[in-house]
Structure 1
């Protein structure tokens, strides 16, 4: 088998494939009270949910970095495993796309945003050939830097001299090279799949939520959010639930913490000088659900409320997370969303700004009393359209000729039995995305090849806190397990790695 087809599932076969979780469940670990009992030693999960990066965009050549002068050096540890990246047959000049993959330097951190729409991402796959990326999702020309590559910018990737922090976390902890966007498409569906695995059952909103299917394929904003700036949507299917609903039913503390949530007008500039508003409404998935909304951005009544029922309804500013940590009451499950300038989204953020946020966050967490039983999952909402060579298995079909285009320009499979619940416009899995686990219980310098997706994070929460499944044909039914990224036999042995937020290189505590 050629390197290009390494671990690739033939598209025709993949259209009928289902990826099932296959993990052993460790003995129950008792937390503080029965409501906090967990099935693994992990009692605190922190999900750092970043923006718009494909796996190849950050890890194409891992663990080999170019190491030019003037950039932070990266040298892989002996025995570091390789990944399914842009190996020789897919490297220039042999890539089948009209532009060849190329390295972006640290001085090219500010780039253009690419096309990452539901339909065009499917067309880029071109029936599994992966050779129409430039023509379908490349979008280099415009007001931001494309460094002379035009639409071919979409083929660019960084290495360990720019995304140094993430490469060092991969060295010391665990990462996956086989994790995918649950469906094709942009930020909002990715965020909703993270917390519910179900993008069907939303009110119509033009092209973002087609009236014919009621499935979110674009970026609507949550209806009624006081920070909204455009058309919006909300959950209409009464069967739809999210993980917050399930955690509430079990009495488990949790929260979504987003930069700028407390002040809709707050802005920052990234390292390239691009200014953006901190809070982006459609990046906040719990706001789409009546049961977990905080549409007026009400502040928690006290630090003791954070993670529990109260006026804020589990939706908080990022500063509230650190208040709870300082108070010694970090919620059991926390989702952290950076202010826009630090979320990694091309156009208004950069890998260097993202590194600052991720490293600062993990450095602080490693100094807390709770680090011994904490797991940090670093995950992403979509690929931004950036090139990734690996076609994912199609575990759920859709045959909407108005919006699908995976195999013949108008479908994502033709078998109605493979359209879960009959809900159209949920073609997936989509593009491959980075996924890392940083924890005392993470395997060290380990690359997992288990097939997973965004709903695998949801499944981990469901299994660890015994909430039961979402239902209504959520992708949690198909989600692969994250458990192979962990070694639960470590018995809480201390494992830390402190990095410099600017360089991403190891430093003293």
Structure 2
């Protein structure tokens, strides 16, 4: 990117969020961008920014909060030391070999611990030899979490861990968190990528070079604002299913193409079968996309539902005759080009049929709350990145249809007024510049800037975020009424040591980062309340006085009640919070 275009990005991006928060109840906004006056808090603008594929421990595993705060991470548990080396309790995170040769098991038998971890794979990482052991890492890594940046810089591309639905259930292994490496080895031969983490504290790399710490922007935001150390991806699995939960609080399912939401049966090759193929140890029979999770006789289903029963959860949220999505699929109304294309359905189309579940967008529209969903790389996006941003490579632009979930919903795509609210990142910058940002904004960065391992880095995601935040804070009026929530779509298959609450068949999954950037965010606060992606929807609903999305969406779950001795595990589960505990509305930040 040229200096001039970068300056424009920063000016407009900052103004974007600024404009979002600046519209007070007395301001006059253009039609379609009205900001409702009545909110339960002083927050008038919510901006939700979703990067990709980092667990909480992967980024915040060594974070040390301000005095008076506590945190649950690798360092606090003694699993690693401040310099990233193994700690006194390193064995708490050791990985075991598993055995599954008959029918799929979510918690498998163990055949012993790894003596050392296998080298991580490069997978398809940019600039790396493809799908070979990554020779930057030693062949004898200790059996437990290791610091990636001792061998490959924080700004470097790495491999991408496996993180599909059934594999994640196995890696978590009933809460023991001890089969991440075995799942990688048996499913895709990826070695031990999943056990890597970054270190926010000073350290020396393998060559003896000193480093002041990784993820400096994330650390600075955590020091200044509020974070959660108990926020989770809503669904076990990858990007597509978690973006569905982010807008619907529910799971997508296979339908016919009549746009009436009638459940249908997928093509056979689209049915997932995680039972081991004959003669293998955990090599799945078929990697499909849908499961009939109300049917205990279907492959893999009984094992997951048994996990729920062991945790006292009887509600699977699986309707009979429905085949639910558990992995990535394209949206029916594709937006790769400037004119949406309807993708056909066939045995090899890899397309999610039209969805009729209600979404938070439907609820907001019905109650006059302005909203937009901005996706980087959409076909009509006027913002074109050059080969670098401040010297950091941005090698490609690609539109992520999975990350633009509302393009799969008939209530949006069959209504021109609603479809018009699905816009590009360039439109987001324009709205910032013109003061027309809506009450609720979802922002999906360009793929190259999401932090996704393999084709992005945490460093690039941090730069994208800082551009937004700087611009918001440059307008005192806007900053005075905005909350920016920063998170990822899922943990990416990376190891995490935190508690996971069973809510239903679909999850929750591992912890992921959540940062609340706002003048009302508690300064340097670490919130232990139990949350997941749907908590973002609960915040919107509570702030604007909205009803829940549906009778089966997760926003119907109560807020957690927990004991002071263990604030992480709700006593009244299943339960997820509404994020209000991250804020103090009587003690706003002065300035930034």
TM-score, length of structure 2 as denominator length: 0.63
CA distance in 2 between partners of 1:112 and 1:340 (Å): 16
* Contact in 2 for aligned 1:139/1:153 (Cα 8 Å): no
The whole-number CA distance in structure 2 between the counterparts of 1:259 and 1:51 is 13
- For residues 176 and 450 of structure 1, what CA distance do their matches in structure 2 show? 8
Maintained 8 Å contact 1:181/1:382: yes
**1:245 lines up with 2:362 in the alignment:** yes
**Residue 487 of structure 2 is aligned with which of 372, 379, 382?**
379
Compute the displacement of 1:365 (Å): 1.3
| Partner of residue 453, structure 1 | 532
Q: CA deviation at 1:463?
A: 1.2
Question: Are 1:466 and 2:540 counterparts?
Answer: no
Query: Within the alignment, does 1:432 sit opposite 2:491 as a pair?
Result: no
**SS of residue matched to 2:175:** coil
Counterpart in the other structure of 1:102 = 146
Asked whether the equivalents of residues 335 and 378 of structure 2 are also in contact (C-alpha less than 8 Å), the reply is no
Which of 471, 483, 503 is equivalent to 2:580? 483
String of CA shifts for 1:80-135, please: whole Å, max 9, x gaps. 63420113543334232143211122725311111110000000111222111111
The offset of 1:467, in angstroms, is 2.0
Q: Using the alignment, how far apart are the partners of 1:193 and 1:31 within structure 2?
A: 34
The residue number in structure 2 matching 1:350 is 457
List per-residue Cα deviations over 1:398-435 (Å, max 9, x = no partner).
3xxxxxxxxxxxxxxxxxxxxxxxxxxx2x11111111
Residue 190 of structure 1 aligns to a residue in which SS? helix
Q: Aligned partners of 1:53 and 1:445: how far apart in 2?
A: 21
Pairwise CA distance, 1:55? 0.3
User: Residues 49, 366 of structure 1: CA spacing in aligned structure 2 closer, same or farther, 3 A cutoff?
Assistant: same
Give the match for residue 494 of structure 1: 590
Q: Distance in 1 between matches of 2:185 and 2:177?
A: 13
Aligned length: 403
5+ long unaligned stretches in structure 1:
1-28, 64-75, 143-149, 296-308, 399-425, 497-509
Q: Distance in 2 between matches of 1:55 and 1:344?
A: 14
Structure 2 unaligned segments of length 5 or more: list them: 1-23, 28-33, 81-85, 96-113, 115-142, 201-212, 256-265, 271-287, 293-320, 344-348, 558-575
Structure 2 Cα separation of the partners of residues 276 and 82 of structure 1? 40
Task: Give the Cα–Cα distance (whole angstroms) in 2 for the partners of residues 429 and 393 of structure 1.
Answer: 6
- In structure 2, relative to structure 1, the CA distance for the partners of 1:362 and 1:125 (3 Å cut) is same
- Where 2:69 maps in the other structure, the secondary structure is coil
Identify the match of residue 412 of structure 2 among 271, 292, 315: 292
Measure how far apart 1:353 and its partner are. 0.8
Q: SS where residue 437 of structure 1 aligns?
A: strand
Q: What is the CA–CA distance in structure 1 between the aligned matches of 2:230 and 2:418, rounded to whole Å?
A: 40
2:215 equivalent to 1:163? yes
Question: Conserved in 2, the CA contact under 8 Å of 1:137 and 1:385?
Answer: no
* Partner residue, 1:190: 242
Q: Tell me if structure 2 keeps the 8 A contact 1:80–1:445.
A: no
Assess, with a 3 A threshold, how the Cα gap between structure 1 residues 175 and 287 changes in structure 2: closer, same or farther: same
CA contact (8 A) 2:334 2:407 kept: yes
CA distance in 1 between partners of 2:508 and 2:410 (Å): 28
Q: Normalised by the size of structure 1, how large is the TM-score? A: 0.73
Q: Pick from 448, 456, 469: which aligns with 1:341? A: 448
In structure 2, the residue matched to 1:224 is: 333
C-alpha RMSD of the superposition: 2.8
